[in-house]
């Protein structure tokens, strides 16, 4: 059993703390926001993540997980201090490191013994060296320490599984002994451990997210071409995905990526490259394609409905992906705003994200369920691929709507089934369906051959 401190109780910090506690360690999670810590002590989590509440409660009851706002308490007898604070995006794409700087300074001022400081936050390349300088500068007395980079690869909605069954653990440090200590912490996960230097580890995180974002933008570009040529992007993606060199994941065409990682990390990597005189043209294209997806959704909806002024449009889903309430850079925000600019009244339903979405979309009416949402709508727009949307009673949905129009921004439905159910339907890059819409063929798809 090791004594661990985790600074920050957001998505990364709270999952990291709960999972290390579940592995048998003694973990104290710290946050400077008293409201968060007080809520956690009362069993109220600041975020939604499937299975996390149960995991936290179990380890609190086992006395392996505790919460505090005091660095003095958190660092007493601690061997490892993980920093998992936010690094929000600045105006030009640069990472805002003031939370990280404050955490490093507080650790330096309160550490009482040798400490391995592990950075989990996504930070610009070179930040590990900067953190080490802060620790040295603000220590009250010289105490041995090491800095290790251990970037997180957690997906919201499946974060616990990603932590407990990772593809790999990446560690970077200029101190091989410190890296080995952190590697020992991760041995119970039985995953490959990559040990490298600080800057390379930091770069692995950015390169990984930029590549995954590139896959999404690539398949969305292919979807555009499929629509023009009459091919089905879902079948194209399946055919591509069987090639092990390509893989099946992140080949889902739709209204684009969002969240706290991909938009921020791609832009930050492009910013770092430009600052050093490089021209990251592929990264610029990835971002441009993703931004275009949201505007293109409005174009497609207008092609189906006509003039949007005076219409009522319902959004199925608000969070940037299913199984989370995260609204950071969610496509729903831009889509709702663009619809309102066109003169539409917008309402929405999401299983868990509506409370988070309300202050971000104050003029969007939040509805209690999908059927109340559909009543009187001129179109429904699938923005988030929640599983419950796949199981809706289509006949009931159709009969409630003023016009039975569905724009499927996540391709969760099959076009032929939707048309047979009486809908005017359009997915993203669904070939024949789109070609028939453009030809004015009664908003249908080609019938299946007998």
Q: How far is it, in rounded angstroms, from Cα 99 to Cα 134?
A: 13
User: H/E element holding 133?
Assistant: helix 127-138
**Pairing status of strand 424-426 against strand 345-349:** unpaired
Burial class of 340 by CB neighbour count within 10 A (0 to 12, 13 to 18, 19+): middle
* Structural contact between residues 217 and 266, judged by C-beta atoms closer than 8 angstroms: no
Q: How far is it, in rounded angstroms, from Cα 315 to Cα 439?
A: 27
Spatial CB neighbours of 395, under 8 Å, sequence gap ≥ 6? 421, 422
Q: How far is it, in rounded angstroms, from Cα 85 to Cα 10?
A: 7
Query: Is residue 26 annotated as part of the catalytic site, yes or no?
Result: no
Helices (H), 152-254: 159-164, 176-186, 198-229, 233-241
**Pairing status of strand 169-173 against strand 193-196:** parallel
CA-CA distances (angstroms) from residue 15 to 55, 163, 447? 9, 8, 48
26, 226, 261, 377: the active-site residue: 261
Our separate counts of H helices and E strands in the chain read 19, 14
Length of the chain: 450
CA-CA distances (angstroms) from residue 156 to 10, 71, 132, 261, 326? 11, 28, 30, 10, 8
Q: How far is it, in rounded angstroms, from Cα 215 to Cα 222?
A: 11
3-state secondary structure of 15: helix
Q: How far is it, in rounded angstroms, from Cα 311 to Cα 378?
A: 6
Catalytic annotation, residues: 261
């Amino acid at each position: 059993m090791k004594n661990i401190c985790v600074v920050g109780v957001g998505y990364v910090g709270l999952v990291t703390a709960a999972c290390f506690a579940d592995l048998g360690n003694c973990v104290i999670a710290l946050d400077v926001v008293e409201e968060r810590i007080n809520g956690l002590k009362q069993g109220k989590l600041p975020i939604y993540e499937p299975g996390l509440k149960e995991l936290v409660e179990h380890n609190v009851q086992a006395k392996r997980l505790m919460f505090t706002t005091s660095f003095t308490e958190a660092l007493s007898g601690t061997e490892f201090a993980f920093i998992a604070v936010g690094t929000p995006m600045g105006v030009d794409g640069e990472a805002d490191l003031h939370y990280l700087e404050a955490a490093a300074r507080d650790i330096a001022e309160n550490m009482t013994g040798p400490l391995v400081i592990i950075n989990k936050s996504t930070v610009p390349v070179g930040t590990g060296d900067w953190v080490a300088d802060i620790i040295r500068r603000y220590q009250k007395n010289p105490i041995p320490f090491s800095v290790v980079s251990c970037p997180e690869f957690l997906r919201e909605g499946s974060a616990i599984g990603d932590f407990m069954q990772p593809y790999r653990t990446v560690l970077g440090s200029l101190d091989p002994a410190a890296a080995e200590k952190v590697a020992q912490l991760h041995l119970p996960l039985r995953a490959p451990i990559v040990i490298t230097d600080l800057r390379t580890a930091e770069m692995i995180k950015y390169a990984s997210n930029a590549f995954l974002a590139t896959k999404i933008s690539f398949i969305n570009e292919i979807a555009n071409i499929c629509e023009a040529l009459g091919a089905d992007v879902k079948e194209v993606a399946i055919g591509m995905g069987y090639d092990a060199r390509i893989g099946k994941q992140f080949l889902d065409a739709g209204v684009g990526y969002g969240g706290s990682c991909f938009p921020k990390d791609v832009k930050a990597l492009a910013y770092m490259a430009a600052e050093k005189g490089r021209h990251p043209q592929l990264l610029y294209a990835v971002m441009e394609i993703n931004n275009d997806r949201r505007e293109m959704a409005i174009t497609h909806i207008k092609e189906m409905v006509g003039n949007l002024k005076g219409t009522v449009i319902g959004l199925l889903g608000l969070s940037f992906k299913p199984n989370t309430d995260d609204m950071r850079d969610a496509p729903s925000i831009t889509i709702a705003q663009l619809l309102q600019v066109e003169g539409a009244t917008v309402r929405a339903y999401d299983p868990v994200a509506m409370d988070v979405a309300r202050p971000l979309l104050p003029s969007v009416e939040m509805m209690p369920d999908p059927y109340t949402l559909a009543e009187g709508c001129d179109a429904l727009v699938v923005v988030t691929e929640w599983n419950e949307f796949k199981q809706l009673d289509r006949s009931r949905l159709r009969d409630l709507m003023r016009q039975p129009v569905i724009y499927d921004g996540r391709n969760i439905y099959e076009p032929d089934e939707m048309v047979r159910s009486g809908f005017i339907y359009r997915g993203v890059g669904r070939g024949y369906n789109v070609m028939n819409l453009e030809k004015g063929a009664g908003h249908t798809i080609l019938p299946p051959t007998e």
